[in-house]
Structure 1
Amino acid sequence: MDSNNGYGKKVLKAVIIAVVFGLVAGGVFAGVTFAANKISGTKSSATGSTIQGTAVSTATTVSDVSDIASNTLPSVVSVTNVSLTQYRTLYGNYVQETPSAGTGVIFSQDSDNLYIVTNNHVIENSNSLTVTFSDGAAVPATIVGKSNSADIAVICVKVSDIDQGTLAVIKVSVMGDSNELVVGDGAIIIGNALGYGQSVTTGVISAINRQINTTDSNGKSVMNNLIQTDAAVNPGNSGGPLLNMKGEVVGIVSAKYASTGVEGMGYAIPSSSVTSIINEIMGSKSDGNAVEDANAKGAYLGIAGMDISQSTAKQYDIPTGVYVAKVYEGSSAEQAGISKGDVITGFDGAKVTSMSQIKNILSTHNNGDVVKITISKASSNYETAKVDVKLGGSN
């Protein structure tokens, strides 16, 4: 009797192993299929509201990662940050544009703007930001507010810059409750890995309330209560969503710990913290105040600029001010006649010598404000000219 029971247990064990192996093998070879089916929203996002033409991602428990991916991809964007780097060589100084890639999550929309949360380090030192949606449409973005210590930033794009076809595709994400996470829960990360476009990786919640040291522009700081996951995290994933198996955003990917012999340690900021920071930023925006030097009002000029010091001005025989390294197509600067190579020396009645000054002045203006800018035109041997510029719109 006991012998028969032992044999039966062995058979049952073998069957279970075979079934588990079949499930694993099937899962490996099944892959992840991206669908573009539009799913009507039934749950509101953490903050803000939606307007007609934009759906809200639904939150339903599913077992197929492809279902979650197809529902969530329209709420995930790629973020391209272009900064300027100055190099000194034996032959003189030159300026080079340096693009970097990250990810963002659409969390709210009103009649004027679409709001996206990402990491602060994704948009740090930005001269220009571009957001690319899931259908490939790319539009300029501006900074609403940011928290350097928490590594969270909110950016926005104008609804008027998005065509109707794209508006019909994109969705507002659903914020979940990171406090409900349990170690071992399934985890999904969507992000702009290596800048190649959106990709999906899967894993589990490996740990909660982890503390790691990160270095930002202000030096070393400690980030508390991070979520650890073994879902693959690569450069470009920063700012992307960590999803639970309901397709809810339970974290924003922020860092990856890399060390010899250590793999599978990605980190995300819990959604409970992210939502709190978003509410603070959006609240300050409503009050007309900037958050940590951000331009909450969204006024923009549309240039990439480089500071011209007195020594550089003397070396190249050009005025001190802000060298216009690039003018973006369709921008206020282009429509006002500002060109690449010009030097901005005055802005809104004040003498300027740095991009930070221009950004500070812009932060006091709204879209549609008209300001007077003094420039030295490269095309006329740097003769001085004054132009009226309508910020954030057409002249």
Structure 2
Amino acid sequence: MSENEFNQFSGQSGQPESAGGQGSQANVPPVQPDMQQGQPQQTPVYGYYAQQPNMQQTTGGQQEPSFGEAPREQKKKRKFPKVLVSAVAGIVAGGLLTAFVIMPAVTGANLPVQQLPTKEEQTQEQGTGEAPSLGGEAQGIRNTQNPAVEIAENISGSVVGITAYNKQLVSGQEPVEQALDAGTGFVISEAEGYILTNNHVIADGNLIKVTTPDGQEHIAEKVGGDSSSDIAVIKVENLGIKAVPIGDSDSVKAGELAVAIGNVRGETFNNSVTVGHVSIAQKEIALDGNKMQMIQTDAAINAGNSGGPLVGEDGKVIGVNTAKKYYSGMDANGNLLTSEGVGYAIPINKAIDTAQQLIENGSIPRAGIGITYSLISDVDARLWDTPRGALVVDVTAGGPADQAGLQQNDVITEIDGVDLTAGADMPVLSQKEVGEKVTAKVWREGQEYSVEFTLADMNNIG
């Protein structure tokens, strides 16, 4: 298969379905029957992706003025004492107030009811409309022969632990808080208390708690998150922690020192430090049609490191560590191969730009279908007896692809008019409008199906 780390093809042979089986359906991929429509997976995991959910069950076809009075003769005006005029005015005003305030309650008229804001409106309201200066001052590195110790000492005080909870209110009982995911974050604005982290760390929680290096726990406010770039910003008022210095990820080169700091396995190993080097300065990763340039490092990135800083040899943050499920390929028997010493970080230039937009607006709408894919090369297609195209590695629960019946190991051969069998790359769906429809052709075990997707905002699914 290709060198893309997402290659997860199972190596099934392409035999057509027998008559009356799944292959007999006209033009929609068959789906698994053991899961209700749109039901998300419940098992919390560290990292970006949960296990592959079962598909929804489908059946056959494609989802799819009054008039005024006559003028009266004017009468001569009478002059009344000012005191009497004031008294009458007061009585009239009181009567009007009574009419407006009391009468509706007496007569049973309905007062205007304020509508609850939608999820999208709440997200938009979270933005502050301001773009503060992000990042702090860097401290000089004295021991250039072994800078890792000073880097850890200078940066660790700005690194925090983050835990997302599902808080449920039970009648007659104390609120129940269930931990969903745990990761790391780092302060990017001391004055405002903004903290940068991975979106997948906090996406599913309705309660977010931050633990500072001194063990103090704080409740954080979600400013905004973007699932496509996997960047989120949260805020803790009066946190009083200095911001990390921000580096330039565009100038990073392979072979440079890289120091990762984070809370491995949640708070079990608080502020753990791993040291390595930049393996590849710009590694292209494809997520839901979005090509992302990542920094690859051999500094150990483990579950819980997600959202922590990757620091360069000058003591400035060059990336946001992202723990995800990546696979280097398959062995001769079709077993997945994982790679030790392969970690990824979102370049800090991209992360800070996204953070600025989240602080200003609360969200960044991203249209997509909700898949992770790996392009199949010509060599791999011949080896595994499949067409060329985009191999579906993962399907986001509740997303357009999930609703349309796509499964892991399906091959998208054409989408939005782009023929992928000729070696073309996936079109950039994020540039389209949310709600727009996109058609595709999907190959599954020797049979081709037609599918239609309704693009959704990736920030609201998964």
Question: TM-score, normalised on structure 2?
Answer: 0.44
Q: For residues 261-301 of structure 1, what are the alpha-carbon distances to aligned partners after superposition, in whole Å with 9 as ceiling and x for unaligned?
A: 521110001011012112212233xxxxx3259xxxxxxxx
State the match for 1:69 in structure 2: 152
Shift of the alpha carbon at 1:84? 5.9
CA–CA distance in structure 1, aligned partners of residues 150 and 163 of structure 2: 27
Task: Report whether the alignment pairs 1:81 with 2:81.
Answer: no
Relative distance call for 1:172 and 1:187 in structure 2 (3 A) is: same
- Distance across 1 between alignment mates of 2:313 and 2:132: 22
- 1:82 deviates by 0.8
Aligned with 1:48 (options 123, 133, 140): 133
- Of 265, 270, 284, the match for 2:347: 270
- 1:20-169 matched pairs, under 5 angstroms: 47-48=132-133, 56-60=137-141, 62=144, 63-83=146-166, 97-110=178-191, 113-159=192-238, 162=239, 167=240
* CA RMSD after TM alignment: 2.7
Q: Tell me, in whole angstroms, the C-alpha distance in 2 between the residues paired with 1:222 and 1:59.
A: 37
The structure with more strand, counted as a fraction of residues: 1
Higher helix fraction (1 or 2): 1
**1-structure distance, mates of 2:321, 2:263:** 11
Contact persistence 1:75–1:105 (CA under 8 A):
yes
CA distance in 1: counterparts of 2:178 and 2:318, whole angstroms: 34
Q: What's the counterpart of residue 176 of structure 1? A: 247
Structure 1 residues 200 and 221: CA distance shift in structure 2, 3 A: farther
Greater RCO between the two (CA within 8 Å, min separation 6)?
A: 2
Q: 284, 308, 328: which one pairs with 1:211?
A: 284
Instruction: Give the partner amino acid of 2:203.
Output: E
The 3-state SS of whatever aligns with 1:251 is strand
Q: Is the 8 A contact 2:261 2:309 kept in 1?
A: yes
User: Which structure 1 segments of 5+ residues have no match?
Assistant: 1-45, 86-94, 215-219, 285-289, 294-359, 361-395
1:227 and 2:299 are equivalent in the alignment: no
- Residue 273 of structure 2 aligns with an amino acid whose one-letter code is V
Report the residue type matching 1:277 in the other structure. T
Counterpart code for 2:205? S
| Correspondence for 1:298 | none
Asked if 1 retains the 8 angstrom alpha-carbon contact of 2:198 and 2:231, the reply is yes
State the match for 1:255 in structure 2. 323
CA-CA distance at 1:205 after TM superposition? 0.2
**Aligned residues with identical type, % of pairs:** 38
1:187 alignment partner in structure 2: 258
Q: TM-score, normalised by structure 1?
A: 0.51
Tell me how far 1:96 sits from its aligned partner. Answer: 7.4
How far apart are 1:152 and its partner, in Å?
0.3
Determine helix, strand or coil for the equivalent of 1:192: strand
* Alignment match, 2:363: 291
Contact 1:59 1:248 in 2 (8 A): no
Deviations 1:31-58 (A, max 9, x none): xxxxxxxxxxxxxxx95379xxxx8552
Structure 2 contact 255–279 (Cα < 8 Å) conserved: yes
The total of aligned residue pairs comes to 217
Measured against aligned partners, the alpha-carbon deviations of 1:349-377 in whole angstroms (never above 9, x if no partner) come to: xxxxxxxxxxx9xxxxxxxxxxxxxxxxx
Q: Which amino acid aligns with 1:291?
A: S
Counterpart amino acid of residue 280 in structure 1: Q
Tell me if 1:202 matches 2:272: no
- Among 219, 232, 237, the residue aligned to 2:305: 237
Q: Could you tell me how far apart the structure 1 residues matched to 2:356 and 2:233 are?
A: 10
Residue type matched to 2:185 in 1?
G
Please say if residues 59 and 174 of structure 1, whose CA atoms lie closer than 8 Å, have aligned partners that are also in contact: no
Give, as a single letter, the amino acid of the residue that structure 2 aligns with 1:199: S
Distance 2:139 2:157 in 1: 12
- In the TM superposition, residue 126 of structure 1 has moved relative to its aligned partner by 1.1
CA distance in 2, matches of 1:60, 1:102: 28
